[in-house]
Structure 1
Amino acid sequence: MVSFIPGIELSRHFYEDVVKKLIDRPHAAALIGEGSEVLGFDQQRSTDHSWGPRMQVFVSASHVNEVSKAIEHGLPAVYKGYPVRFYSWQTESVRHHVEVTTLDHWLSVQLKIDSHTELQKDKWLSLPQQHLLQFTAGAVFHDELGELTRMRKQLSWYPTDIWLWMMASQWHLIGNTEPLLGRTVEANDGRGSLMVAFRLVRLIMELCFLQEKRYWPYLKWFGTAFSRLRVASEIGPVLDRILGSSNHQDRENAVKQALEIVAERHNTLGLTPSVIPKFEPFQVGINDAVRPYRVLNAGSYVGACKSAITDETIRMLAHVGAIDQLTHVDDALINFTSWPDRLKHCYKAEMDLHITN
């Protein structure tokens, strides 16, 4: 068995030792796009399909054919014990995986954007974080053109108003979910209580990603990526208590502690005036009804985020969240359907309502 080499490291050496010597035109070279190795999460198990020395090489349109031919004829059969040509599920054939293209073509196919047009608000809201992560993670091995580095920086995080609205939406989702924990316990619904607790854990973890300005990946790598956040060592054990407790009071206490952590971290961001976390009986909002479940004043964090948004069309949107907050984003939806593009039009239509009104 060949000794395992992390994919980024393997591809970096492959570029330096082999591919670079085959290109005599201005270019950029990187490992981005799909694959656990792009995220830095690959293991020996990852090598069982579509894994090996690979990369993207970006050149001008006039040089694509020339560089493609040079690479096709110059690549070895094996590199560091790994086949250079291996199965591609995209083409259902065995081929090398040094993709030679233009940056504009890659962006058009993978993200449905181009490098010459500023992203509009509706596009930001409908771009799956997995796609943004695939472009901004990985590694750049060479970029004498500078365009790839510029675009990665441009897409490294959301514009501030979009970011604030997404955090407002996340606080709204947490605020709507938290009182259900006490209600399910009161109804003697142990299974329902666990489901609500697990939902809260997911929402809190998502908020942690937002607060640290990190795109979250799809479910397979969500927990792994979360473990690398700065807050993980502090809040992780608390979330584990929520997930592992069989006592509803212990679970509720752990939820309170976790929410206190993200509430205080909200204040350290300095994006809004500080909000003091308070836990008070749940106010239903109808007929002055008050229930005895002590919940965080999540609405205050929603309001603080919204008040800091300068773009009124974003501030006035209902708190449904961007595509990853609104949907169960999976491979089928984001890669094989037109749903992201349809949602882009939906977000635009909602914002247009506030312009016309």
Structure 2
Amino acid sequence: MHLAIIGAGLAGLSAARALSASHRVTLIEKAENPAGRMATHETEFGGFDDGVQFFSASSEEFKREITQWKKEAWIDAWQARIVRLVNGRALTPARSAVRYVARPGMGALCANLAQGLPLATAQTVTGLQTWGNAKWLLAVQADTVAIPAHAGPFDAVILAMPPEQAAPLLHDVAPQLAAQAASVHLAPCFTLELAFAQALDLGYDGAFIEQSRLAFIAHDNSKPGHRPGERWVAHAALAWSQEHLQDDLPRVRDKLLKAFHEATGSQVQPVYAQALRWPFAQAVQPMAGDCLWDANLRIGLCGDWFAAGLEGEGRVENAWLSGRRLAQQIMQSMPQD
């Protein structure tokens, strides 16, 4: 059986690695590299983890996977001092689970997981259509090719992408799945990358910020295995991001830089500052369950927008568990090659 997996973020890669032992898989990713919201943006000042800053584990299944990643030297524990900033005052929050980061940036973890898997990048799937006897063709558009092409046929299709992107693809071919996907909303988020010519010496490596346009800041180069240099990544509050979603990025950059100075008390000006927009950043209220799978249509959905038995907002563990459990359902319902 040949399966197409649309999206090479952690959920898609988790499903692909589980399925590849018994089925043929082809990953199709619209970005130039696998990673999704675990991407690392490389600049002349070093890499910036623009999306996921760290991850932890609560399920035994994910803890076992993390143990393997550590053996591969793909990840390390981040011994960071994380505080809460309230009106510029640093308060140490309650101790949390061990925080892990990838070396030399979060995107490297997905690059390692993608090794050995058939992966087509910089290709956007624009449509699904049936072909022959219970097969699927994908309409694919690439920037380098003026005319849309088709990929397939495939015996099954997995959509490992935000629900707002999955629902339109499913509207005509799987309306029930489309309606389920459309019931979930991912909040947007702006990210601010900052590089400085000198150390800020703030006394902490990360901070959750209250009463600010910003929600979290991280000292990127404090993470093990990351390139030296004074780099900070700031995430805007979700509500502020939603309110200013249509603002131009230079305006967002200036507003968030001002918020960074106000929150940290540092007035040192950066030598580099850039804002970027994540239109679909976080599932504030994940969908109950692990994934969606229609065995008759042979279409499935997975991602961090599924609860996967965890409490709280969608995060890295949700994505990995969702992809793995969708793969398990597929292997139970589809014959092996």
Bin of the TM-score, shorter chain as denominator length: under 0.3
Higher relative contact order (CA 8 A, sep 6+): 2
Q: Which has the higher helix share?
A: 1
Structure of greater Rg? 1
TM-score of the pair, normalised by structure 1: 0.21
Larger % of strand: which?
2
